[in-house]
Amino acid sequence: MTPNKGNGRPKIKMEKMENESNLNVTFAKRRRTLFQKAASELCILCGAEIAIIVFSPSGMLIHMWTLPARFDIATRLDIKSR
Amino acid sequence: MTPNKGNGRPKIKMEKMENESNLNVTFAKRRRTLFQKAASELCILCGAEIAIIVFSPSGMLIHMWTLPARFDIATRLDIKSR
DNA sequence: TTACCTATGTTTAGTAA
DNA sequence: ATTACTAAACATAGGTA
């Protein structure tokens, strides 16, 4: 184990990431956090109901909702993957 | 200005907040961050497209999307406030 | 209500395995 | 693809005004 420097988290520019590998890792991390924050926390803490629809960088459709019964997003949108 | 203690952020339990005033403030803060994170950052950094639909604790409908042209959520859902 | 403060809790970019 | 690590960046609950 070469001791790595461990420079911590750099500040990033708000623009599309160039490096595709980093982009995919970042997308996975942030998507996870987004869903957890949105679904688990905002819903539980505040009694909100949330639906999120995402097209990933590669065009994949991801969706989630915490709506108990108010309406059925998937049905009403007739969601299909591309 | 009485010098306040500034105790910082306490850890909270993951359950519906009791205090309604705190709940509303927290909802506003988190909703803002959620939208900014979801829209501004995930979209810009990773080229994702996102739509979010939220019913607030008081039942108000809030929605946003960063979808350029893929589809029109509002139209397809025929969204109306309650 | 809104806005600011602040210490602390949480996320995360880059890197490596 | 995933996972772990680290330290800095960031979010945020409660308080104050």
Tens-digit pLDDT profile for chain B (82 aa)?
Answer: 434 456 789 999 999 999 999 999 999 999 999 999 888 899 999 999 898 989 899 988 888 888 664 555 555 666 554 3
Rounded to whole angstroms, how far apart are CA atoms B67 and B48?
Answer: 8
Long-range contacts of B69-74 (CB under 8 A, 24+ apart): B70/A55, B71/A77, B73/A53, B73/A77
Question: Mean pLDDT over all residues of chain A?
Answer: 80
The confidence score (pLDDT) of residue A41 equals 93
Q: What is the reported pLDDT for B34?
A: 94
- In a mutational test of the B interface, the residue from A11, A23, A53, A66 whose CB has the highest number of chain B CBs within 10 Å is A53
User: Is residue A3 pLDDT above 80, yes or no?
Assistant: no
Question: Using an 8 Å Cβ cutoff, are A61 and A79 in contact?
Answer: yes
Cβ pair B32, B56 in contact under 8 A: no
Specify whether the backbone of A52 is left (phi greater than 0), alpha (psi in -120 to 50) or beta. Answer: beta
| More reliable by pLDDT, A43 or B5 | A43
Share of chain A above pLDDT 70, in %: 73
Chain A CB contacts of B46 below 8 Å: 16-17, 23, 26-27, 30, 56-57
The pTM score is 0.85
Check whether residue B68 has its CB closer than 7 Å to nucleic acid strand C.
no
Cα dihedral sign, A34-A40-A41-A43: positive
Q: In the predicted model, what is the mean pLDDT of residues A13-24?
A: 92
Across A25-52, average pLDDT:
92
Q: Determine how β-strand B61-65 pairs with β-strand B49-55.
A: antiparallel
